[in-house]
Amino acid sequence: MKMKSIAKYVFISRVLLLLYRNLFAAIDKMFLIWQILLPVFQIYIMGYAYSALIGDQGISVGALSISYVSFLTAGMMGFNVMQGSQIAGTIFWNDKRNGMFQQILAMPFNKIQYVIANLVTLIIIGLTSATAIILIGLPTIFQDINITLWGMSYTIFALVAGSVFFGSFTIILSTKMKSSETYNVFSNGLFIFFIFVSSVF
């Protein structure tokens, strides 16, 4: 039992080390800034511009009718999760190109710990950006928002599941692409398709 607890502690500590490395060394800081600035532009510029076209009729969601800006603010949370998930593929691609992936595996880390650390990185970024979007968009959605325990639980689950799904997708994609240009073209093209069919805007 003691050996199992030690092995679990070692496993978690190694994942946390890789997680720290991802958050503070492997991620482009300008990308994180863009994750905040883009929703601000979308919500306050595009949101109100399209609201003027739609008028006062709003958007019907089930039996409710909400403003387009509130609809867009919620959609931007999903959009950021999809966009942020490209980090996992980019980290793996850069590590593979620069030889860092082989160096990490030569140290006391394995592939499972590496993948888990990448996915946890995405979950943290997804939840953080979603919180930031809610705070940024709060002046526009407070009249439509109805906070419940079930709603919060469902939102957190959707963000975590979306981060894991799209993050796994980009990791798989990055292992199949031979060049960064090909990876960027395929990932951006597919995410544009996902954004279109998800009715974010």
Residues ≥6 apart with Cβ < 8 Å to 173: 89, 183, 186, 187, 190
Query: pLDDT band at residue 107, thresholds of 50, 70 and 90?
Result: confident
* Highest-scoring range by mean pLDDT, 23-37, 54-68, 91-105, 171-185: 91-105
User: Count of domains in the chain?
Assistant: 1
Q: Which domain holds residue 100?
A: 2-197
Give per-residue pLDDT as tens, 56-96.
677 776 777 777 787 888 788 888 888 777 777 778 878 88
pLDDT-based confidence at residue 1 (cuts at 50, 70, 90)? low
Name, in order, each residue with C-beta under 8 angstroms of 127's C-beta and a sequence gap of 6 or more: 156, 159, 160
d(CA 91, CA 22): 8
